[in-house]
Structure 1
Amino acid sequence: MQHALVECAREEIIQEVSASPFVGILVDETVNVNIKKKFIFIRYMKDGKAASQLIGNFDVPDGTAETITNKITCVLQQRNIPIAKVVGFGSDGAAVMTRRVLGFSTCLEQLNPRMTSVYCTAHRVALASSGAAAKVNTIKQYRQTVNTVFNYFKYSACHYERLQELNRILGEGDFRSLKEPCSVRWLSLSRAVYCSSVKMHGPM
């Protein structure tokens, strides 16, 4: 049953992509303790608007641009998506993806010279801001203090329990877990930022 549902969803996506005059692909990497895979999104036109779909999460034997290129072109062929139809490619700033010589984007551009590569703006902004912040001593000291507080509670169940008890006494509510401060993992901290904003300025 599960396999049948997957096939139905896949067939619908393929039909929509086939009807689009052009497509773009977005590639990133996901890693756990024993698996390293590339997941691929495809972006296409549907009813005059851009739409995005995940088309797969694939094992990649090594991290070379040639291997990634072979895998993705094979995936596109299996779904009847001609490489000539791919006009855009987006990724993070990993060297294997974006470097001018022997990068994946360069390999794709050799297959389709009309294609345009885009380095994810969100990654660039986060990396630029963290790089700039590293030059300011006040911010470096602040980050060190915040990390020290985080580690104080993270590595002690006793300390963590006391923090939860304090939260209950203060009636703050909605206490689930601590999030480690990180300059470039903005999405994982969005809830903490939103909660802080609400407390300081009221509901948005």
Structure 2
Amino acid sequence: MKLPTFTVVSEMIIYIRYLKDGVSKTDFISILPLPGGKADTITETLGTFLTEDLGLQLEKMCALGSDGAKVMVGRQNGVAAQLRRRVPHLVNNHCVAHRLALAVGQAAKGVPYLQKFKDIIGTSPGPKLKLVEAKDVRWLSHDKATTTLRKCLPSIYTSLEREAEERNDARAAGLSVFTQDYRFVLAIHMICDVLPHLTALSCAMQKRDAVYVTIKPLVNGTISIIQGMKSQSADNYKEAPARGTQLIDDGFRIKSPSEEQLTAFHEKIYLPFLDNLLQNLEDRFPDLPLLEKFGAFSVGSSEDDNHQDIQELARHFGVDMEQCRSNWHQVRASLEGLISQPTRP
């Protein structure tokens, strides 16, 4: 019997977001085959489709949204960089939720113990127990899972020991040793303090009607919270030593850490992780100042209040200031008209 051979097929999914009657619309447009996955090929395929098949003018394209693959967002020759050479005002929107997940993963990579923590937690010791690996782009999806893991440590330890003894499972034995260590207890409590704030930020960014102008205060607010954790530990991490003592009292093999060991964890794992996370958040959102300028379209503020923002947007998009002011009034009128419409029963 001859079996068919399957190969990788490169395709590009295209959605377009636009304004119609003052309302933001997002439509699925097409799935385009790609002869190759290189930036040059993607740029040419996309440009040809938009201009020749759809009859659109690239000069009127305001922004490009994509994932964080280097072929898309590479600074020198990525798709966004190539398009920006043709459309200088183009805003490159690397998916904000994806950026946030990568920031967490990269922060963990900068701390050797947390890298091992991530690798170990991805092993499967047996058919009844599986600890799912926290991939760089999946850290935030593990918020509830890590909270459950923290709450169920006694059950996890018991299951691992049983798998190791009854099934002679070497992986379960290794996991049992690794997790019954004071550093693991401290780390899981630390992660449980950080992830909820980052998950909330990610969810806010993924709302259907998320507004550009809200991104900067949301990111800055999260940065402020994490910055505060450096000087004053959050609840879970603060109670971690007592939790370790309770686990020891329950008969598990955790050794009580000395003050020197607790200090070493704080200085070599806790603080570096928070510092790396803060730096990653700041590095991965460099376009916040421009996005904040779109607050000029907020209903309720006057042209005088937003004059500087309008001027900077006009300069960025290469639009005549008088034309921009006229368009600003039209858009504001449309938005105010939509808000003033009575709600249908």
The structure 1 residue matched to 2:138, chosen from 180, 185, 200, is: 185
Which residue of structure 2 aligns with residue 62 of structure 1? 36
**Distance in 1 between the 2:112 and 2:74 partners?**
32
**Distance in 2 between the 1:184 and 1:53 partners?**
26
Q: In 1, are the aligned partners of 2:134 and 2:142 still within 8 Å (CA)?
A: no
**Distance in 2 between the 1:101 and 1:137 partners?**
31
Task: Indicate whether 1:83 and 2:58 are aligned.
Answer: yes
**Distance in 2 between the 1:56 and 1:179 partners?**
34
Which residue of structure 1 aligns with residue 119 of structure 2? 144
1:154-204 superposed Cα distances (whole Å, 9 cap, x missing partner): xxxxx2xxx39xxxxxxxxxxxx98553231368x479659959x99xxxx
Q: In 1, are the aligned partners of 2:73 and 2:81 still within 8 Å (CA)?
A: yes
Return the TM-score normalized by structure 1: 0.57
Q: How does 1:4-15 map to 2 (within 5 A)?
A: none
Deviation for aligned residue 1:116: 1.9
The structure 2 residue matched to 1:127, chosen from 93, 99, 102, is: 102
Return the TM-score normalized by structure 2: 0.36
Q: How many residues align?
A: 145
Which residue of structure 1 aligns with residue 15 of structure 2? 41
Structure 1 runs (4+) deviating above 6 angstroms are none
Which residue of structure 1 aligns with residue 48 of structure 2? 74
Q: How does 1:162-201 map to 2 (within 5 A)?
A: 163=128, 180-185=133-138, 189=141, 193=145, 196=148
Counterparts in 2 of 1:182 and 1:55: CA distance versus 1, 3 Å: same
Query: SS of the counterpart of 1:152?
Result: coil
Deviation for aligned residue 1:120: 2.3
Query: SS of the counterpart of 1:75?
Result: helix
* Structure 1: unaligned runs, 5 residues or longer: 1-31, 154-158, 165-176
Deviation for aligned residue 1:90: 1.7
Task: Indicate whether 1:116 and 2:91 are aligned.
Answer: yes
Determine what percentage of the aligned residue pairs are the same residue: 31
Q: In 1, are the aligned partners of 2:121 and 2:131 still within 8 Å (CA)?
A: no
Q: What value does the CA root-mean-square deviation take over the aligned residues?
A: 3.3
Deviation for aligned residue 1:72: 0.7
**Distance in 1 between the 2:147 and 2:92 partners?**
36
Q: In 1, are the aligned partners of 2:10 and 2:37 still within 8 Å (CA)?
A: no
**Which protein is richer in helix relative to its size?**
2
Query: SS of the counterpart of 2:121?
Result: helix
**Which protein is richer in strand relative to its size?**
1
Which residue of structure 2 aligns with residue 172 of structure 1? none
**Distance in 1 between the 2:97 and 2:31 partners?**
22
Deviation for aligned residue 1:86: 0.7
